Amino acid sequence: MELDLPKVMSQLTEKLEGWLEKFISLLPNIALGIVVVIATILIGRLIKSLSNKYMQKWGTNITIARFLSKLFYLVFILLGLMLALSVMDLSKTVTSILAGLGIIGLALGFAFQDTAANFMSGIYITFNQPFALGDIVETNEGHMGKVRDISLRVTQVETFDGPIVYIPNRFLFEQSFINYTERGRRRLRLACGISYGDDLDKVEKVVIEALNSVEGRLESEEVTVFWTEFGDSSINFTANIWFEYNRDNRKFLMVRNSAIKKLKAAFDQNDIMIPFPIRTLDFGIKGGEKLSEMKIDTGGRSGKGPSE
């Protein structure tokens, strides 16, 4: 069977001409659709900015305000795209897209389970607020710092050394973590030891008087001293100080420095000794020799010297 090339070319030309005529007839709708998309993006950004601003002004938590403003933006963009497709006389395409999105969403849900878990965890963190921007947290992996940003996928924690750690939200949802600033106060436990020759009652009094003057200490909480153990060369204790600790006041290191300096100065003034490690050597045990009876020869060897 021979191919009728002129006939094929004629049919192809007619088809292309039909498509071209259809495209030309849709040009006004396409132009209007493009205008709708551009207007949707611009108006969506304005809605996002204004909603975030006024929700915070009305007292909504900053994290929730940012999340809701992003959600409003995404919903508005999606509606704008659907409207643009309808304007371009692609209503059947809109239906196909919606059906396809459902199938794609189901497939992506299985393929990106961790991402979906992070997303849902981010929503939980946003609304339940176990921590907020500016809080000091410590994760189960040992990352400690200030919460810098909370997104739907990760939480940014700025460590005290400067680097920023990106923590997937599902870890903060599933695992334990410490929030240091939620209560607005924190306790400093200062461990120390004094010699066995010091009076414990006197030491307690000196410690409490010294630490009462630490700047930032909460007046509502007393300084407490607890003796913990008989050490190798000292009797050890811990002194406990409560101080204000929140998002705006994080002076843990300053309080600790001040407490150590004041405690050392108070011990010096009251002749209280913080001992060095002490070792007692006894040469008088059974089977040995007393140190006073030992002789050392000129060669540095220990023992009795040779008889003359």
CATH classification of the domain holding 174: 2.30.30.60
- Looking at the fold, whether 140 and 205 belong to one and the same domain comes out as no
Would 305 be classed as within a structural domain?
no
- Looking at the fold, whether 167 and 189 belong to one and the same domain comes out as no
- Looking at the fold, whether 175 and 189 belong to one and the same domain comes out as no
Place of tokens 């300053």: 254
Would 210 be classed as within a structural domain?
yes
- Looking at the fold, whether 200 and 169 belong to one and the same domain comes out as no
- Looking at the fold, whether 138 and 166 belong to one and the same domain comes out as yes
- Looking at the fold, whether 174 and 191 belong to one and the same domain comes out as no
State yes or no: pLDDT of 182 exceeds 50: yes
- Looking at the fold, whether 146 and 174 belong to one and the same domain comes out as yes
Would 59 be classed as within a structural domain?
yes
Longest pairwise C-alpha distance within the chain: 137
- Looking at the fold, whether 54 and 73 belong to one and the same domain comes out as yes
- Looking at the fold, whether 201 and 168 belong to one and the same domain comes out as no
State yes or no: pLDDT of 306 exceeds 60: no
Predicted local confidence at residue 242, as pLDDT: 93
- Looking at the fold, whether 24 and 73 belong to one and the same domain comes out as yes
Distance, CA of 308 to CA of 196 (rounded, Å): 47
Would 63 be classed as within a structural domain?
yes
DSSP 102-140: HHHHHHHHHHTHHHHHHHHHHHHHHHH-SS-TT-EEE-T
Would 277 be classed as within a structural domain?
no
Predicted local confidence at residue 305, as pLDDT: 46
Instruction: Return the minimum-mean-pLDDT range out of 1-5, 240-244, 246-250.
Output: 1-5
Question: Which CATH number covers residue 234?
Answer: 3.30.70.100
Number of folded domains in the chain?
Answer: 3
The per-residue pLDDT for range 248-263, each reduced to its tens digit, is: 777 888 899 999 999 9
Whole-Å CA distances, 193 to 15, 130, 230, 238: 96, 38, 9, 8
State yes or no: pLDDT of 229 exceeds 80: yes
State yes or no: pLDDT of 93 exceeds 90: no
Would 167 be classed as within a structural domain?
yes
- Looking at the fold, whether 46 and 84 belong to one and the same domain comes out as yes
What is the extent of the structural domain holding 196?
A: 185-269
Would 38 be classed as within a structural domain?
yes
Residue 73 Cα to chain centre, angstroms: 27
Mean per-residue pLDDT of the chain: 79
The per-residue pLDDT for range 279-304, each reduced to its tens digit, is: 666 655 555 555 566 555 555 544 44
State yes or no: pLDDT of 267 exceeds 50: yes
Instruction: Return the minimum-mean-pLDDT range out of 123-132, 137-146, 216-225.
Output: 123-132
Structure tokens at 214: 């630490």
The per-residue pLDDT for range 48-70, each reduced to its tens digit, is: 888 888 887 787 767 677 778 88
- Looking at the fold, whether 217 and 242 belong to one and the same domain comes out as yes
Residue 156 dihedral angles phi and psi, to the nearest 5°: -95, 125
Would 55 be classed as within a structural domain?
yes
Q: What share of the chain is helix, strand, coil (3-state, %, to 5)?
A: 50, 15, 30
Predicted local confidence at residue 269, as pLDDT: 94
Whole-Å CA distances, 298 to 74, 96, 290, 295, 307: 93, 104, 20, 10, 15
State yes or no: pLDDT of 211 exceeds 90: yes
Instruction: Return the minimum-mean-pLDDT range out of 28-32, 103-107, 248-252, 289-293.
Output: 289-293
